[in-house]
């Protein structure tokens, strides 16, 4: 029997999904047309040149320096195959791409991006660890014009340091496919921890967003 041709869709999917029929059917229906947003990165030298020492210290304290500097080619189709095949348990993410088994566990997080699965977990469903956090008060404290009153948490009104930290949270750590102009409560909580030097479990934060991409179309 002849091997399927790479030039037709059936052969293309057969090769990428190693004959997993369920994934081959799910991919064109759920993932193939979803855009993978190219990740951004930060040049630490630029922070030094601009004398943004507070941002540098925040990244260093949170051990995020290696993560925010990552800059390599990405392959959106392969990422979508990874997400189509992805499953996970409490500690580990698993997938397979072109017959290559992929395991993302605590050892991988530490080796690749220098992050430990430790410290407090921050997210919409977990605010008890930040009892002193007040969304409105914190946002107001970050504004250029402290007299501004608004129920919309727009990035554009922030002073330089909070604005760059907002960029780091929105475009690097919790990248998603919807509104980048308005900060969510989770964004503000993470910014609060960055500015207040409160250790965050970034493995938990980033892993949750990878899982959201699998479960929710807006990610």
In-domain check, residue 31: yes
Q: What is the pTM of this model?
A: 0.85
What does the pLDDT look like over 88-107, one tens digit per residue?
A: 998 899 999 988 999 999 99
Per-residue HEC secondary structure of the chain comes to CCCCCCCCHHHHHHHHHCCCHHHHHHHHHHHCCCCCCCCCCCCHHHHHHCCCHHHHHHHHHCCCHHHHCCCCCCCHHHHHHHHHCCEECCCCEEEEECCEEEEECHHHHHHHHCCCCCCECCECCECHHHCCCCHHHHHHHCECCCCCCCCCCEHHHECHHHHHHHHHHHHHHCCCCCCCCECCHHHHHHHHHHHHCCCECHHHHHHHHHHHHHHCCCC
What is the predicted pLDDT for the residue at 19?
75
In-domain check, residue 167: yes
In-domain check, residue 34: yes
In-domain check, residue 2: no
In-domain check, residue 5: no
What is the predicted pLDDT for the residue at 6?
44
In-domain check, residue 45: yes
What is the predicted pLDDT for the residue at 4?
41
Residue 189: give the domain boundaries.
Answer: 10-215
* Total structural domains within the chain: 1
Assess whether pLDDT exceeds 60 at residue 3.
no
What does the pLDDT look like over 154-212, one tens digit per residue?
A: 998 899 999 999 999 999 998 877 778 899 999 999 999 999 999 999 999 999 888 88
In-domain check, residue 188: yes
């Amino acid at each position: 029997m002849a091997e399927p041709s790479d030039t037709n869709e059936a052969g293309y999917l057969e090769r990428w999904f190693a004959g997993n029929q369920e994934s081959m059917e799910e991919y064109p229906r759920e993932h193939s047309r979803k855009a993978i947003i190219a990740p951004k990165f930060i040049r630490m030298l630029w922070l030094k040149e601009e004398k943004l020492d507070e941002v540098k210290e925040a990244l260093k304290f949170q051990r995020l320096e290696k993560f925010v500097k990552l800059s390599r080619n990405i392959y959106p189709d392969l990422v979508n195959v990874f997400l189509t095949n992805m499953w996970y348990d409490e500690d580990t993410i698993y997938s397979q791409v072109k017959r290559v088994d992929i395991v993302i566990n605590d050892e991988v997080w530490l080796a690749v991006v220098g992050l430990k699965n430790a410290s407090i977990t921050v997210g919409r469903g977990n605010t008890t660890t930040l009892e002193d956090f007040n969304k409105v008060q914190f946002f107001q404290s970050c504004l250029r014009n402290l007299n501004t009153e608004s129920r919309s948490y727009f990035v554009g009104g922030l002073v330089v340091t909070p604005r760059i930290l907002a960029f780091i949270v929105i475009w690097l750590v919790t990248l998603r496919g919807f509104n980048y102009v308005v900060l969510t409560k989770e964004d503000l909580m993470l910014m609060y921890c960055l500015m207040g030097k409160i250790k965050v479990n970034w493995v938990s934060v980033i892993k949750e967003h990878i899982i959201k991409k699998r479960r929710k179309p807006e990610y």
